[in-house]
Chains A and B, each alone.
Chain A
Amino acid sequence: MFVLLVEDDPELGRQLSSWIKGEGHRLHWLRSGTEALQWFADQRCDAAILDVGLPDLDGFAVVEGIRRSGVEVPVLFLTARAEIADRVRGLAAGGDDYLTKPFAFEELMARLEALVRRSQSKQPGVRRLGNSTLDPLRRRVICSREAVELQPREWSLLEVLMRHEGRIVPKPYLLEQVWDIRFDPGTNVVDAMICRLRRKLEVCGSNIKIETVRGKGYAIEQTHP
Chain B
Amino acid sequence: MPLNKPIREWLPSAWRLGLLLMLVAWAGCGALGAAGLPAEWLWRVASLCALLMGIAVVWYWRVVLAPINGFTASAKRLHSPEGNSRLRAPRAIPELRNLASVVNAGLDQVLALTRELQSTNDELAHELRTPLARVRGNLEMMLDKSDNPQAKDAAARSLEEVDRATQLVQSILTIRGGDHGALRLFRQATAIHQLLATLVELYSPAAEDRGLSLKIQDGLDMVWQLDRSLIMQAISNLLDNALAYTPRAGKITLRWQAEGTSLVIFVEDTGSGVRPEEMEWIWERYHRGSSSVIRHPGIGLGLSLVRAIAHAHGGSAGVTNRVTGGASFWIKLPQP
Contacts and interface: CB of A to CB of B under 8 A. Distances in A.
A103 interface: yes
Given A12-B130, A186-B299, A187-B240, A215 B186 contact: no
A209 B162 CA distance: 28
B144 to A, nearest CB: 8
A41 interface: no
**Residue of A105, A185, A188 with highest tally of chain B CB at under 10 A:** A185
Given A187-B243, A215-B155, A216-B156, A192 B205 contact: yes
Nearest to B126: A80
B160 A215 contact: yes
B137 A15 contact: yes
Interface stretch (A24-32, A116-124, A176-184): A176-184
Given A15-B141, A83-B184, A184-B167, A195 B202 contact: no
A80 B203 contact: no
Contacts of A84: 186, 227-230
Contacts of B299: 186
B201 A81 contact: no
Nearest to A100: B129
Contacts of B139: 215
Contacts of A94: none
Interface residues of B, number: 56
B205 A193 contact: yes
Given A80-B125, A189-B205, A214-B156, 19 more contacts: A12-B130, A15-B134, A80-B126, A81-B125, A81-B126, A85-B186, A86-B184, A102-B162, A103-B133, A153-B202, A179-B202, A181-B232, A183-B232, A185-B239, A189-B202, A191-B206, A215-B155, A215-B156, A215-B160
Interface of A: 9, 11-12, 15-16, 19, 53, 80-86, 88, 100-105, 151, 153, 179-189, 191-193, 195-196, 214-216
Interface of B: 122, 125-126, 129-130, 132-141, 143, 153, 155-160, 162-163, 166-167, 170, 183-186, 198, 201-203, 205-206, 208-209, 227-230, 232-233, 236-237, 239-240, 243-244, 296, 298-299, 302
